[in-house]
């Protein structure tokens, strides 16, 4: 392979003990230090979104080796079904005059293949089901994203989103609640598989 034809760099799972090196007088710091610095704010929008993916992945028994940010969807079940996860919260990490109004992005996207560098021509939803994960706790003093009782989840068939006559870019919490009951973590797996089954039924058994 020439220098002008570089393939994809695949990530490997790190332990956190890997150290920075390669310069004289490098002080003792490692990958775990970096993770603590970069990811300790679990309330922030960006980190909370990744945390929601991890929580859902654990509920579904997904293989969570290394997160692939270029995948067409966020998670893959052991059976090969694709799951997209979107998160929201009433309480943000910045100063608020009131609790946030909840809505979730559900827009179609064009998948870009990191192996070929080719982007799909038409946007679409690639997953079999969506999980809308709401950090539903409303008291800032006791907010804890690691407390799974503070979350509620909505498992939605992708085909249902495709068939909506309203916005194809986002969905509000009231719209979700008119059709889907909130799920606790303990019921999330069953709810997601029910959504996958409904998606396949709406698609006539196909993808």
Locate tokens 């909505």: which residue? 154
pLDDT digits (tens, 9 = 90+) for 80-123: 999 999 999 999 999 999 999 999 999 999 999 888 889 999 99
- The residue-averaged pLDDT of 26-42 equals 92
pTM: 0.93
How much of the chain, in percent, has pLDDT values that exceed 70?
97
In this prediction, residue 26 has a pLDDT band, given cuts at 50, 70 and 90, of confident
How high does pLDDT run on average in the chain?
94
CA–CA dist 171, 167 (Å, integer): 7
Burial of 29 (0-12, 13-18, 19+ CB in 10 A): exposed
Tell me the backbone φ, ψ of residue 134, rounded to 5 degrees: -110, 120
What integer is the mean pLDDT of 171-183? 97
Residue 27 or residue 184, greater confidence: 184
* Residue 159 in this model has a pLDDT that exceeds 70: yes
């Amino acid at each position: 392979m020439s220098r002008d034809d570089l393939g994809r760099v695949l990530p490997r799972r790190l332990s956190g003990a890997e150290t920075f090196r390669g310069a004289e007088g490098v002080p003792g710091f490692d990958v775990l230090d970096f993770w603590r610095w970069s990811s300790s704010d679990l309330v922030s929008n960006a980190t909370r979104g990744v945390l929601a993916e991890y929580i859902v992945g654990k509920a579904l028994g997904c293989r969570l080796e290394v997160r692939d940010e270029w995948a067409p969807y966020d998670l893959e079940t052991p059976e090969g079904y694709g799951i997209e996860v979107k998160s929201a919260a009433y309480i943000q990490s910045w100063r608020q005059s009131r609790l946030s109004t909840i809505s979730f992005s559900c827009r179609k996207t064009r998948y870009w293949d990191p192996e070929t560098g080719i982007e799909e021509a038409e946007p679409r939803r690639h997953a079999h089901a969506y999980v809308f994960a709401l950090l539903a706790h409303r008291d800032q003093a006791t907010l804890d994203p690691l407390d799974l009782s503070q979350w509620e989840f909505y498992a939605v068939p992708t085909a249902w989103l495709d068939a909506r006559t309203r916005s194809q870019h986002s969905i509000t919490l009231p719209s979700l609640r008119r059709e889907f009951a909130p799920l606790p973590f303990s019921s999330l797996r069953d709810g997601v598989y029910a959504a996958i089954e409904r998606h396949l039924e709406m698609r006539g058994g196909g993808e």
